[in-house]
Structure 1
Amino acid sequence: MALERYFIEEGKIRSEIENFLRRELHRAGYSSMKIQKTPLAVRINIYVEKPQLVIGKKGKRISKLTKIIEEKYNLENLAIDVQRVENPTLDPNIVAKRIATALEKNMNRRKVVYKALRAIMNAGAKGAEIIISGKIVGKGGRARAEKYSQGYMKKAGDSVNLVRIGSTQAYLKAGIIGVTVKIVPPDTVFPDQINVKPKEEVEEEKGEVKEAKEEEEKSNEEESEKSEDAEKS
């Protein structure tokens, strides 16, 4: 039970730190974080869209952030490493936050979602899906969910783990709206993926294989003739 309690407490602390960073760094385009614990120190890797807003002038903000987390969550020798998200348009957490911010500004949800889908697909994604759930219509309306998708998306099996998923909430007068974004990255290769080669390419490969076989047979014949001549002499 002691070991189980330890893992529960660890998970609780990770979740609390995640929520704290999400609140504090939302203007910096917060995406995610990873905690690495060693016997000597604790390292937190933070992934954001705008690292300069996390670091602050002369590193003042990140020093303050480090001190707050150390005291609040009882962590010793804490080191925070801030890394830039290479392509924010392919990061589901950042995209979800952008959509939520637009919804909070009372922008048309369909225009916002379709714009986000186009941006994701133009960035090279193989597929994308955006789900908006809650009291979408307005005050007094029933809660429901709307799903928008483009491209290829896995729904079941182990391949689902290759899909990046991010979610957040938009706080409107009518209530809380949930936003979930799923993205299939450009370099994803699914186990059941089949690539069909053009006929010209197949014919070219067949010709190369045929030439290689003919050369091999020719070299084998030459070697056999040489060995026969050697035996006769």
Structure 2
Amino acid sequence: MGQKINPLGFRLGTTQNHHSIWFKQPKKYCEGLQEDQKIRDRIKNYIDNHRVSPITDFISRIQIEKGMDLVQVTIYMGLPKFLTEDKPPKIKELKGNKIKELKENKIKELKGNVEKILHCENRKLNIAIRKIENPYGDPKILAESLANQLKSRVPFRKAMKQTIELAEKAYAKGIQVQIAGRIDGKEIARVEWLRKGRVPLQTIRTKIDFCSTTVRTIHGVLGIKIWVFASK
């Protein structure tokens, strides 16, 4: 019987790095872990509520670095527009200075929301947003795109093939897409998957990116898993 392991944790220290970097005493480790989860949830909820379009503003990952008096949060996003757009009719009227002011206001508002859940008030919080150059090579963004298609009742095989095509345009060496649950409303749950190219999961030196998420449809909850063999 095969023993499954998370591809990201399997490659920590070789091709993958930790998304949280800090040190706590054993008795306070649980507090730091819960604080990280609250920060990530607060940021995701804020961006979801201010999203301009369902096909933009995808979060790839949130990097958290904690020091004695500083908390540095870096948000890696694909197709970010919520910092540059308010509402589609108004964006055409904005000029360079106003767009810059709008960005600063939204980051300040996001920073204020995150500061409410920090345990220590004497720590300074910095939030930075980085744009991913190749968004469709990231499994998290591909999973969000696939979830939106399944919510819109796109046939699952067509949605999976479109996801693979997006990864091919991003010069991925290989991709595997898996959907599990009551697909197409069938009474018996099953697993469907497609693979294109090479996905060597047992080789530690390979750069494998992985994402697992869920999507709620009218027939129930579907699970989505995506493995991407990156080109670099």
> Normalised by the shorter chain, which TM-score bucket?
0.7 to 0.9
Question: 2:134 is matched with which residue?
Answer: 87
When the two structures are superposed, what TM-score results if normalisation uses the length of structure 2?
Answer: 0.72
Percent identical among aligned pairs is 23
Structure 1 pair 91/127, CA: closer, same or farther in 2 (3 Å)?
A: same
Kindly provide the CA deviation profile for residues 203-222 of structure 1, in whole angstroms up to 9, marking residues without a partner as x: xxxxxxxxxxxxxxxxxxxx
- CA–CA distance in structure 1, aligned partners of residues 193 and 42 of structure 2: 29
SS in 1 for 2:183: coil
Measure how far apart 1:17 and its partner are. Answer: 2.2
The answer to whether the Cα contact below 8 Å between 2:175 and 2:229 also exists between their aligned partners in 1 is: yes
Equivalent residue number for residue 135 of structure 1: 182
Alignment deviations for residues 63-93 of structure 1 (CA, whole Å, 9 cap, x no partner)? 1111111112335311100000111110110
**Whose relative contact order is higher, 1 or 2, with alpha carbons under 8 Å and at least 6 apart?**
2
Q: Say if 1:85 and 1:115 are closer, same or farther in 2 by CA, change over 3 A.
A: same
Note the residue ranges of structure 1 that are not aligned, 5 or more in a row.
Answer: 188-233
C-alpha offsets along residues 13-47 of structure 1, whole Å, 9 cap, x if unaligned?
22232233233324311111101112221110001
Q: Aligned equivalents of 2:69 and 2:32: distance in 1?
A: 17
Root-mean-square deviation over aligned CA pairs: 2.0
TM-score normalised by the chain length of structure 1: 0.72
Equivalent residue of 1:44, what SS? strand
Residues 1:17 and 2:39 are matched in the alignment: yes
Other-structure match for 1:152 = 198
SS at match of 1:73: coil
Q: Does 1:113 align with 2:135?
A: no
Structure 2 alignment gaps of length 5 or more: 1-23, 52-56, 86-101
Q: Cα gap change, 1:45/1:58 in structure 2, threshold over 3 Å: closer, same or farther?
A: closer
